[in-house]
Structure formats: C-alpha cells, structure tokens
C-alpha cells in the first residue's frame, strides 16, 4: 500500500487490458499495476508516484463528518465498531419499516435520497429521519453500502466466497462460507453482522413486507459482495447467481439460529412457569400442613 496525493494505492493485476489513467497507455494482463482503494484510480505501478491528480474521495480530517465513500475503518471507533450512520438508519427502519411492503425493493425519491445523503454527510446526529419516507431511508442505506471503497465482504475475499459456493455438499458450503467470513477485519465483520441481523428481522416479516431472504439477497449482494473492478464485466455478470446465493445462505443461516434461540427461550419460559406452579403448590401444601398441626 502506497499513499500519494490522497490516493491509497494497492498493487493489483488486471485480467483484461486496462488504460492507465496517467500515461493513457494500456496496462497489460501481466503488468504490475496499482489501483486507489478510495476512488479506484488505475495506473501502472511506475506511474502511481508521478501522477498529479488528487484523489476525489480523499478523507480530510477537517471534513470528518463525511460518511459516504469513506473507508469503513475511518468511520468506526474502537469501542463502537458499527458506524453511527448505520446504526441510525437501521434502528429507524426496524422501528418504522419492518412491515412496509417492498422495503429495500422499492426506491425512494431521487431528490430526497440526495438531500438526506448530503445532510448525513454534514451531521449524522442532527438529522431528523422523521422528515423522510421510509423508502428514502432504505435507499440511502443501500447507497452507503455501495459507496464503500471496500465492500463489507471485501474485494480481497471475493474469489474465496465464490470458491466456497462451488461445493456440492450444503454443510461444506456453510462451513466454507463462514470460514471466509472469519477472515474479515473486526470493523467489516461487526458491520456485516449488524446488517445481517437486520435483514433477518426483515425476512421474518415476509408475510407482511413481501421480502424473503432471496429477495433481500438479490438487492444486497451487489452492495456487500461486489465484484472487483479488475474482473472481466462478463465474468461479473456470470458470478451474480453465486454472490446472491452466498448472501441468501448467510441470511437463512442466521434466521435459523434466531428461530432456534426463540424456541429455546420459549422452552425456558415454559419450564420456569411450570417450576413456579409446582413451588406454589408445595408452599400451599406446607401452609395447610402447618395449620393442621
């Protein structure tokens, strides 16, 4: 990783010939290349320290309120690893949108989405979400996910997730997918866990909101398991079914665990109620015996 003019360059190799944005000549498949993690500026390795163009998505400490297009690690505090914006939007949707038909499938007003995004980029805490339609708020959350320089499930692990989905035995697929998830950084893992738990809550109300795990995966796979720019566009289209299936699997697995926990809680509550009933009966019997003596 090398920084220059606000760019954060990382080494890469392209699978198809790509134009260098500095010298305008082709970057061939075996050439050493660099790509900015923030703005996706692509150039030869030899050109990355020569270029004078500043990063269009550079993080400026003086503009620290910026929320969109910023590396996740810069939005997460050590003691609170899920960004404030994510918690604010998700909490509001869970309070007011769980039963809304087509939540996340239907888009909000373009102008209102732009207005809310600009407001959140200025001051997250002071924004009043009550002023916006629930579909606008949902659209802004999706936009934030799409704008991350590195998606929640990361470009680095993209091929690993696809390989995990290539197994035929479902148990192996689940094990392999979660093995890859375990490789995520703390900030990415925390944000992904919060999002998936939220999507589980949405999917559990499918009868009302018409959003199944599959429908949610179709919407969110391009946001959280995005194809790297270095991959052939035709190949990325062919990967869509696998990325969607991967996200759907994660949602379904967490939904099964959630239902199992609810069942365990119900069993414990029933056992507690039964124990209380027996205890009450014993106390009454003891009281009766005491009066009899």
Instruction: Give the pLDDT confidence score for residue 61 in this predicted structure.
Output: 45
What digits encode the pLDDT tens for the residues 103-125? 999 999 999 999 999 999 888 98
CATH class of 150-293: mainly alpha
> Which CATH code fits 2-47?
3.30.60
Instruction: Give the pLDDT confidence score for residue 270 in this predicted structure.
Output: 57
From CA 163, how far away is CA 157, in angstroms rounded?
Answer: 10
Could you tell me where in the chain the CATH 1.10.555.10 domains are found?
67-149, 150-293
| DSSP code string of 130-198 | GGS-HHHHHHHHHHHHHH-SS-TT-STTHHHHHHHTT-SSHHHHHHHHHHHHTTS-HHHHHHHHHHHHH
Which residues, at least 6 apart from 9, have a Cβ–Cβ distance to it below 8 Å?
Answer: 1, 2, 3, 34, 35, 36, 37, 48
CB atoms within 10 A of CB 154: 22
To the question of pTM greater than 0.85 for the whole model, the response is: no
Which residues, at least 6 apart from 176, have a Cβ–Cβ distance to it below 8 Å?
Answer: 163, 164, 167
> Which CATH code fits 67-149?
1.10.555.10
Instruction: Give the pLDDT confidence score for residue 76 in this predicted structure.
Output: 77
Could you tell me where in the chain the CATH 3.30.60 domains are found?
2-47
Residues of the chain with pLDDT under 70: 1, 57-64, 77-80, 263-274, 277, 281-293
Instruction: Give the pLDDT confidence score for residue 279 in this predicted structure.
Output: 72
């Amino acid at each position: 990783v090398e920084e220059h003019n606000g760019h954060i360059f990382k080494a890469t190799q392209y699978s198809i010939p790509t134009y260098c944005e500095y010298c305008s000549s082709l970057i061939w498949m075996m050439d050493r290349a660099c790509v900015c993690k923030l703005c996706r500026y692509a150039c030869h390795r030899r050109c990355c320290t020569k270029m004078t163009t500043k990063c269009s998505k550079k993080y400026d400490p003086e503009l620290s309120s910026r929320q969109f297009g910023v590396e996740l690690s810069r939005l997460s505090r050590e003691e609170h690893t899920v960004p404030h914006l994510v918690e604010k939007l998700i909490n509001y949707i869970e309070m007011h949108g769980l039963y809304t038909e087509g939540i996340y499938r239907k888009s909000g007003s373009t102008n209102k989405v732009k207005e809310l995004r600009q407001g959140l980029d200025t001051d997250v805490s002071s924004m009043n979400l009550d002023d916006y339609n629930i579909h606008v708020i949902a659209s802004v959350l999706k936009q934030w996910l799409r704008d991350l320089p590195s998606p929640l499930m990361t470009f680095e692990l993209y091929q690993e997730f696809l390989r995990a989905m290539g197994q035929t035995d479902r148990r192996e697929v689940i094990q392999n997918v979660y093995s890859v998830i375990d490789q995520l950084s703390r900030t990415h893992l925390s944000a992904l866990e919060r999002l998936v738990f939220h999507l589980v809550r949405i999917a559990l109300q499918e009868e009302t909101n018409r959003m199944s795990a599959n429908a949610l995966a179709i919407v969110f796979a391009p946001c959280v398991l995005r194809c790297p720019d270095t991959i052939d566009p035709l190949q990325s289209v062919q990967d869509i079914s696998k990325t969607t299936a991967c996200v759907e699997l994660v949602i379904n697995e967490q939904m099964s665990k959630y239902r199992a926990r609810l069942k365990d809680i119900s069993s414990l509550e029933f056992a507690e109620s039964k124990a209380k009933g027996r205890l009450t009966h014993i106390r009454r019997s003891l009281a009766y015996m005491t009066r009899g003596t």
